[in-house]
Each structure stands twice: as C-alpha cells, then as structure tokens.
Structure 1
Amino acid sequence: MGLSPLYPLRFEPIFTTNLWGGRRLPAYLNRTVDHDDPIGEAWVLSDVDGSPSRVADGPLAGRTLRELMAADPARIVGAAKTPQGRFPLLLKFLDARQELSVQVHPNDEQAAKLGPGKFGKTEAWVVLDADPATSRLYAGFAEGVSAADFCTALAEKAAPKTLHAFTPKPGDCVFLEAGTVHAIGADLLLFEVQQTSDITYRLYDWDRVDAKTKQPRPLHIDEGLACADFQRGPCPPVGPAVAVGDGVRREGLVTCAYFALERFTAQVPFRVGAANRCRAVVCVKGSGELESRGARYAFRTGDVFLLPAEVGACIALPAEPVTLLECGLPE
C-alpha cells in the first residue's frame, strides 16, 4: 500500500457452486458468470485461506484483503482485534434454492484444536427475500428437546423436527452463536456476517444425492455432536433496537463479542462508519453514493464497501430510498 491514502474499498465477489444453490446471486451483485451451475454463496469480504477477496477498483485494484492486512493491519482495522493477523469477519450472500444441511459450527476453543488459523463460527443472517409458502428457517432446538431426542431423530432421519422452525420474512435477523444447530430452508436469499471461519459439520442432509457424484454428501456426526450446544433452545428473529430521527431509521440488530450489525433505512443523507473504526457497509436496497474526503463512490443493491479505520466515517447520499447494513468490529 505504501503511503497512498486508503478509500472505501469494494471487492470482487467470490461465487461458490453448491448443489442447493440457485442462480440469483450474479444478477443481484451486478456480475456475470461463465457457467450454469447452481450458485449458493457469494463471498463479498473474505480473508479465509485460499479465498481472499480482491479489490475491484481504484488505485488498489487487484490487491487482496490478505495483502492489505499483512502490509499494515492498523490502517484497515484500527484498534480492533485481529486473531492471528486475519481480518476477523467473513461477509457473504446466500441463495438457497433447496434446503441447506442441518449443521453446526464449533466455537473458538473447539476450532483451535484443529490447528493454527482455525476459528469458531458465530454468525447472523438477514433475510432479503423469502417465499411465504415454502421458506423455513431452523435455528436452535425446539423447547424440551434433549441430546438423546436429537440422536434418536438423527437415526430416524427426522432431525429437522427437533429444531425450532419458523416462516421467515424479509427483514428478519437471526443471531446464531457457535454451537447452535441450524438449517436454512428452501427459496431464501440471505445476507450473512460471521467470524472468519469455514468449518461446518453436517449432521443431516435431507437424504439427497449429489447429482454430480451420485453419492450422498458426507456427514460429520461425531464432530457435530461434540460441538452442538443442547442447551440452546429456540432462536427466533431478534427484536431490533429502533431509533428514528432526521429522516433515518436506525436498527441495532446484533452486538456480540465478534461483530455488531446495524440497519439504516433512509432517503436523506446520513452518516455511516465511525472515526478511526473499521466498518463494512452493505447495500441491500436502493442506490446512491458514498462521500469520503470529497470523492464519491456509487453504490447499488448488492454492493459492499469496506471502510478502513483510516477512512472512518462517510456520508451516504441516497438517490432513492435505501437500506444499508453496517457491520462493525469490537475493540
């Protein structure tokens, strides 16, 4: 990076093919892909080994988030913690045409046993689109379900029946601490913020067969049961802390040890980010510009900007009603 000033950074999405995926993400993110395979995820901010995000435009175009962090992490994250030098969050969009597996993620202590550079996965979802007739989310165990009940259900291929399930609607936010057994149902478009981790233990996969391999996908029963928190009951959508003023609706969605998540809805200019703090701004509706140090950066639905600590606060200038999510790092 040298001494060149930083600016709001937009990264190229990393699309992943998944048997449960759909085809909505390229258009949602204003991109094209050269294949017809189902796309389940788009990683829009990643410092995961082997999948680093790459700056899309500006003087730093082509540089990876890993390179920027290695050069001078304080310019990117300020005083925020960076476990083993990694950018601590992974941001992604998900397009679930079919159900994802019933799964669970380890916590930091459990993940560390797998080797250096391994982290747990606490996450949050924001529902962007859902089919009221077919979409379901499964988050935490239903009231009264024990470990023995779940193991019996696994053996009987009835694991989803033991989970708290509900019909989601656009705007719902669900917070899932590591150890929460969960599943994403069909016909859902989600935004997800999580720890920088790609460890998933699959417990049940709806008895389906991978069309490419002609085999069921592997399960990780022993590892998953060891990580599952059987005290974790129903996880319904969070009740946001809402404040309305000066034409801006602000919703505090999640604050935890790993990230904070807020939502802004407005048609008037408003501030995003904070001085000397690292933030990621995600446009999930509308279009406009970010203003920083006299320069403007256009955004539209699907765009994600990292605001390095060196950049600090920016002004969002909506061209129409916009909804922005803001992800922050704890210090």
Structure 2
Amino acid sequence: MTKYPLRLEPYVKEVVWGGRWLANKLGRKGAEGAKLGESWEAYSSSIITNGAFSGKKLAELFETYGTALFGAAAMRYPKFPLLVKFIDAHQNLSVQVHPDDAMAQRLENYPFGKTEFWYVIEAEKGAEICYSLNNTPATREDLAEAIRHNDLLRYVQRSPVKKGDVLFLPAGIVHALTEGVVVYELQQDCDITYRLYDWGRTEREMHVEKGVQAINLDYRNFKVTHAESISYKGYHAAELVACDYFTATLWQVEKQAQLKAAAESFTVLTVLGGKGDLSSPSSEFVTQPLNKGDTVLIPSELDYQLATKITSHPLEVIGCWLETRN
C-alpha cells in the first residue's frame, strides 16, 4: 500500500434554512434554486476521487488499513471519527443541543456524541448567534416548560460574530447558527441533534425530554474568540481549537509551508480561499492543485507541502486531526 493525499468528494444537503452560498462560492451541485445548507467535506462515507483508492469510501479504508493510513489515535474509535462541513445559514437554524458520548450511547445506541467548533468564514453586519445559556436562573423543569411554550430564548445568550471568529461547542451547550453566517465546522462524526426552538417553524419536532437531559446547565456565557497567528518563513499559523477529540489549525500560506501529518493521526485539509498546490514527494501524487472548497485527507506520517499560486491572495487552509495526547 502506497500512502498518498486522498481527495474527497463533498456531499451536499438541501435544508429549509439553506441558501446559495455553497453553489455560488464553492460550485456545489444541487437542483436549480435549491436551498443548500451543508456540504459534508470529510466523514465516514466520503468517497475518494483519485489514485488507487478512487471510488472507495473512507469507512472501507478505515476498516481495511486502520493504523497504516489513519494512525494509532484513530484506532481508539469504532469508525471514522470526524466530520468536516461548510454550513450556510441563510436563515436561522434551530436552537439545539447535542448529546455527549455517554448519552449518545445510552439514548441512541451510537458510539459518539457531538462536540464541535465553528470558524466563521462570512458574517453579515450585525450577525449574532445563540451561544450557551445566559445568566437567567433556570432548572431543567424551567427549560422544559420554556421549550413547550416557545419561550426558550429568554434563557439563551446572543453573541455578535464576524469573519475569523472561533466558537467552541462542547456537547451539552445550547446553540444556533443564525441568518447571514457561513462557517467551517469540525465535529465528532455524529448527526444527533435535539431541537429546542425553531423560530416559529412548526413542521419539525422539538425534542423536549432528550434535549433537556442533554443540556449542561453549567455552560453559560461562553465567549467568542479570535485566534492569533504565529509567523513562520513563508506562512502564518493559528491554532483554532484543541480539545479531547480534535485539534485544528489555520494556515495562511504566502509562499510555501513544509508540513507533516501527525504520527498518530491522519490530517484533513480544507481550502477556505486562494489557489495553490499540495505536494507530497514520497507519494505517487507529486503535485495536486488546490482550490477554494477542496478537501484532502493526508494519511498519518506523510510529509507534504502547501504552496500558494497567487502571492497577493494567500492560500488559506484549515488542517484538523485527532487529539493524540489521550
């Protein structure tokens, strides 16, 4: 088996709150005028589009090659453990909460809960998101009653956001993306969502009992952050998040960056802007072009280089990998 960077095919979801950013800015396909809300860039069913593994899913490779491709840290999990998305909130998403690992296993018979983070790609002027409970005292019974009477927002903090902001969302936090915000999302590979409030939309179910169980009452007044970058020769790097499940770094490449996937984990690269090249001299693909919206999985321990094509517009890439210190 020869390791090489695996290009991944996106999976696009049409949703009631979606818009046209994914089609207009990333060229994602859908029916004419369709409301496209999510583009799943890397997840267990992602299909590889290049090389010897072309046509196969990450899940197949995970089962067959395990540590050799994905690293020892990935073998702590029963399946490919991460999900990377672009999300276009053309309208408000529901106010929601996700279970942690223990609750997902107990209530849904699923191996993962959902801890996630957002990097804000675009935000309209004055945009706010729902981000944790506020200081208004509330018991679980108070929250359940508020959900039943569409009055939950009295307990929810609203936080202004702008391009470049970072939001960490541990399982158990009440949250919602709202109108006019586009984000890169990295999360555990779990799609379990408990809706708590839906902005007057009545066609979707609210999950009162499970949702209230999942809420962590200690998660109040969370702060939006903005990562500081460190300069290196030819590029800048900013650590966006580091938690028990994953780490993510933003690279802004003005010339080139020599990098290496972690010894114990694969790395997923997603291009947010600019044009460039991905080189991996030790693999069968010496050079691959990189464009906005491309996502590539780098197998564990593989050396690679990012280089920009247009120095006036740096190549902007988020790289994420599993937490390897556990």
* Same fold, judged at TM 0.5 (above): yes
Look up the match of 1:288: 276
Tell me, in whole angstroms, the C-alpha distance in 1 between the residues paired with 2:261 and 2:47.
Answer: 24
Q: Does 1:260 align with 2:247?
A: yes
Tell me, in whole angstroms, the C-alpha distance in 1 between the residues paired with 2:143 and 2:101.
Answer: 24
Go from structure 1 to structure 2 and tell me whether the alpha carbon gap of 1:183 and 1:244 turns closer, same or farther (over 3 Å shift): same
Q: Does 1:303 align with 2:322?
A: no
Look up the match of 1:221: 208
Alpha-carbon distance, 1:149 to partner: 5.0
Maintained 8 Å contact 2:114/2:171: yes
Tell me, in whole angstroms, the C-alpha distance in 1 between the residues paired with 2:227 and 2:268.
Answer: 19
Maintained 8 Å contact 2:78/2:111: no
Maintained 8 Å contact 1:269/1:318: yes
Alpha-carbon distance, 1:115 to partner: 5.0
Q: For 1:194, what is the secondary structure of its paired residue?
A: strand
Q: Deviations over 1:237-263 (max 9, x none)?
A: 235353223242211111111000111
Tell me, in whole angstroms, the C-alpha distance in 2 between the residues paired with 1:236 and 1:115.
Answer: 30
Alpha-carbon distance, 1:60 to partner: 1.8
Tell me, in whole angstroms, the C-alpha distance in 2 between the residues paired with 1:317 and 1:31.
Answer: 24
Q: Does 1:58 align with 2:45?
A: no
Maintained 8 Å contact 1:84/1:117: no
Q: Does 1:318 align with 2:318?
A: no
Look up the match of 1:180: 173
Residue 53 of structure 1 aligns with an amino acid whose one-letter code is: S
For normalisation by structure 1, the TM-score amounts to: 0.90
Question: Where do 5+ consecutive residues of structure 1 fail to align?
Answer: 210-215
Alpha-carbon distance, 1:231 to partner: 0.8
Tell me, in whole angstroms, the C-alpha distance in 1 between the residues paired with 2:218 and 2:28.
Answer: 42
Tell me, in whole angstroms, the C-alpha distance in 2 between the residues paired with 1:132 and 1:39.
Answer: 22
Q: For 1:59, what is the secondary structure of its paired residue?
A: helix
Alpha-carbon distance, 1:74 to partner: 0.9
Q: What number of residue pairs does the alignment pair up?
A: 316
Q: For 1:179, what is the secondary structure of its paired residue?
A: coil
More displaced 10-residue stretch of structure 1: 32-41 or 301-310 = 32-41
Maintained 8 Å contact 1:82/1:88: no
Percent of pairs with identical residues: 32
Tell me, in whole angstroms, the C-alpha distance in 2 between the residues paired with 1:96 and 1:56.
Answer: 28
Q: Considering only aligned residues, what root-mean-square deviation do their CA atoms show, in Å?
A: 1.8
| Structure 1 outlier segments of 4+, above 4 Å | none
Maintained 8 Å contact 2:236/2:252: yes
Look up the match of 1:203: 196
Q: Does 1:110 align with 2:71?
A: no
Go from structure 1 to structure 2 and tell me whether the alpha carbon gap of 1:129 and 1:238 turns closer, same or farther (over 3 Å shift): same
Q: For 1:85, what is the secondary structure of its paired residue?
A: coil
Look up the match of 2:133: 141
Look up the match of 2:40: 43
Alignment partner of 2:223 out of 229, 236, 256: 236
Question: Where do 5+ consecutive residues of structure 2 fail to align?
Answer: none
